[in-house]
A and B are shown apart, each in its own frame.
Chain A
Amino acid sequence: MTLERGIATLFLAICIAYGYVAFVTMQNELLPFELNMSFLPNTLPRALSVLGAVIALVIILTPSKPASEGGTAAEFKNVAWGNIAQTFGLLALMVAYAMTLRPLGFIGSTSLFLILGGLLLGERRFVLLTAISVFAAFAVWYLVERLLEIVLRPWPAFLMTQ
């Protein structure tokens, strides 16, 4: 099965789950007065689940054509495993960044994210990388908090009074 149809099959499953919630769960949760109304919270979801399931079936059942030239699907062939490992590493780093943003503070976690990201990609000029990362973290924090006045906690939680 091609990736294309795999995705369509998965989407069909999502539509069925989505439709179950729309047709059964939400229908049971309706308040008595709502039953007389012509437009309900589950009206659009019901329509969408049916429509989505039909389209997914069309994709699954029609014979697929070869991938278009120059499309991203064609680029998939050039991907090397080493790069996939790097990609997953960067994704893990992004998750770690989201988790540490509050506890470590903006400047700490941003500097770490930029330094580790650079190292992961193979950068060996550690001092330069650290200098640029810390400077960038400070600069962005200054721009966002001072000029845009959007509060970013710069330091670890235990150092901040509020």
Chain B
Amino acid sequence: MIEGIWLGLSTALSIQNLLMVIAGCLIGTLIGMLPGLGPMSIIAIMIPVAIKIGDPSTALILLAGVYYGAIFGGSTSSILINAPGVAGTVATSFDGYPMARQGKAGKALTIAAIASFAGGTVGAILLMGFAPALASFALLFHSAEYFALMVVGLSAIAAFAGTGQVAKALMMTVAGLMLATVGESALFNAPRYTMGVQDLQSGIGFITLAMALFALPEALFLVLNPARSKSQSGNGAGEIKDLRITGDEAAKIAPVIARQSVQGFLIGVLPGAGATIASFLGYAVERNIAKGDEQAEFGKGSVKGLAAPESANNAACTGSFVPLLTLGIPGSGTTAILLGALLALNVAPGPRLMVDRPEVFWSVIISMYIGNVVLLVLNLPLIPYIAKLLAVPRNFLIPFILFFTLMGAYIGQNNATELLLLVGLGVIATILRFADYPLAPLLIGFILGGLLEDNFARAVNLTDGIGFMWQRPMTLAMLIIGILLIILPAYRQQRAKALSKGVAQGD
């Protein structure tokens, strides 16, 4: 491991890569602050740039920097104008915005930055321990196990979708898998489901799909619901004066940060859970264990209530890299996009990554530390200036967001038909959002679809049939876990419904 860290340090600390981290964090913060552009959209926009760079370590360092920057930018807009740019920072606004209204915006930003820094750093340390262990275990996997693992991953994403959402999430996963079958694949001699359209032969571009699923609906929501982007005047950048925190406050938040960094990391490792769930859970746990008057302060500007979701969401972001780097399975929409970027850069994430491309693996981990330092040292002092961006009028902002969305899809494919596909899919995605269908499972299904079919085909060809599903104990065990993950929440929901029938309709 020491030589790994050394290799990572020497790669990540080159001038070019350092510049990439800094640029990534700044771009991420700038764009992440804007309403309507979350980390997924920003990373999708940056992918053509990353592919242009060519060197996978440098490209991934840039994208990881953008990811952290975007989360930090999201916290900033949550605190300053109560408009979370990212779902993972919604819990940040619970206490961050009240603090800003009390004139403590600078203090709130500092606490958020320190909590994020600690969460990210603890996450990176845990990742260094976790990932190699998991990867060495995963080296035992064959295609049959990979297939089973993907089934587990996909069903876990559906299972974590929330109550009453499991069937919808599953439907979206199947829709994603279906979209993945469009076009030519290396396995077969003829294109499938292109309906004679020439432009569909190479399949649907994943950047196009990512833009259509996330960036476009967000931008359209800004138009449909103007209240979303309205910024409260009087709480702008002018009021960020004092960035310092007192020793008393530091003592208060230290244990919170320590607990939530570990908890957030563990939640982030689970596929499908991710930063949003980690931040809400972190907030809820800290509120429950806080004592009397401290508990009453939650929601009214508690420093603990701000530190908890901030450290949890950053640790979870780091945690979500564990399944991506060791198993090649994305646990969230953002890591799904990163997986797509890696595949485009000719890197196959998985247990072999640490053996075949150790410099990629370790430099990403080391760049996580550097990214956290950059956020703390560079971004925090710049925040009063960056926050001016929030004052850009909506009439200028929205056409630009739409334009960036179009550019992201166009640069990746250099094909104007792709833009029409983007608009069509974007409209469908917006309607799906209105019906509360989760969209991340669709993208994850789409990205895993090709890998799933490859591994399934290999396993079927090796054993001449689907007997491998019950002949290989590890495969069987994983498939059973996958089925249980779907059945258990549904069963508990049914039981809760049956129980509630006996109870009078009260409060």
Contacts and interface: CB of A to CB of B under 8 A. Distances in A.
Contact of B192 (A45, A51, A114, A122): A45
B400 A8 contact: no
Given A75-B225, A97-B419, A3 B192 contact: no
Contacts of A110: 403
A83 B225 contact: yes
Interface in A1-40: 2-4, 6-8, 11, 14, 18, 21, 26, 29, 31, 37-39
Interface in B188-220: 188-190, 192-193, 220
Interface string A140-157: 100010001111000000
B123 to A, nearest CB: 28
B436 A68 contact: yes
Nearest to A51: B174
A120 B460 CA distance: 56
A24 B463 CA distance: 26
Given A90-B398, A98-B420, A26 B192 contact: yes
A107 interface: no
A118 B167 contact: no
B13 interface: no
A4 B435 contact: yes
A56 B171 contact: yes
Interface residues of B, number: 63
Contacts of B175: 11, 52
Contact of A136 (B170, B177, B400, B456): B400
Contacts of A2: 435
Nearest to B418: A98
A161 interface: no
B456 A94 contact: no
Nearest to B187: A41
Interface in A52-93: 52, 55-56, 58-59, 62, 65, 67-68, 71-73, 75-76, 78-79, 83-84, 86-87, 90-91
Interface in B399-432: 399-400, 402-403, 406-407, 410-411, 414, 416-417, 419-420, 422-423, 427, 431-432
Contacts, number: 168
B460 A121 contact: no
B401 to A, nearest CB: 10
Given A44-B453, A94-B423, A114-B399, A72 B434 contact: yes
Contacts of A41: 187-188, 190, 192
Interface in B230-259: none
A98 B419 contact: yes
Contacts of B399: 90, 113-114, 117-118, 121, 133
A31 B188 CA distance: 11
B181 interface: yes
B411 A118 contact: no
Given A26-B192, A52-B175, A132-B396, A72 B419 contact: no
A3 B431 contact: yes
A160 B224 CA distance: 39
B193 A102 contact: no
Nearest to B228: A75
Contacts of B193: 18, 21, 45
A99 B436 CA distance: 32
Nearest to B177: A48
B168 interface: yes
A129 interface: yes
B442 to A, nearest CB: 11
A159 interface: no
B489 to A, nearest CB: 13
Given A41-B192, A55-B170, A150-B52, A72 B433 contact: yes
B407 to A, nearest CB: 7
A127 interface: no
B49 interface: yes
Nearest to A18: B178
A114 B398 CA distance: 9
A99 B416 CA distance: 7
Contacts of B407: 140, 144
27 contacts: A3-B431, A4-B436, A8-B171, A29-B190, A38-B460, A39-B461, A41-B192, A44-B453, A44-B456, A45-B181, A45-B192, A55-B167, A59-B167, A71-B436, A83-B223, A87-B220, A91-B220, A98-B416, A98-B423, A113-B399, A113-B402, A117-B398, A118-B399, A121-B395, A129-B395, A148-B411, A150-B411
Given A72-B221, A117-B398, A151-B414, 10 more contacts: A11-B175, A21-B193, A39-B461, A55-B170, A58-B167, A72-B433, A83-B225, A87-B224, A101-B416, A113-B402
Interface of A: 2-4, 6-8, 11, 14, 18, 21, 26, 29, 31, 37-39, 41-45, 48, 51-52, 55-56, 58-59, 62, 65, 67-68, 71-73, 75-76, 78-79, 83-84, 86-87, 90-91, 94-95, 97-99, 101-102, 110, 113-114, 117-118, 121-123, 129, 132-133, 136, 140, 144, 148-151
Interface of B: 48-49, 52, 162, 164, 167-168, 170-171, 174-175, 177-178, 181, 187-190, 192-193, 220-221, 223-227, 393-396, 398-400, 402-403, 406-407, 410-411, 414, 416-417, 419-420, 422-423, 427, 431-437, 452-453, 456-457, 460-461, 464-465
Q: Which 5 A-B pairs have the closest CB atoms?
A: A117-B399, A98-B419, A123-B395, A52-B174, A41-B188
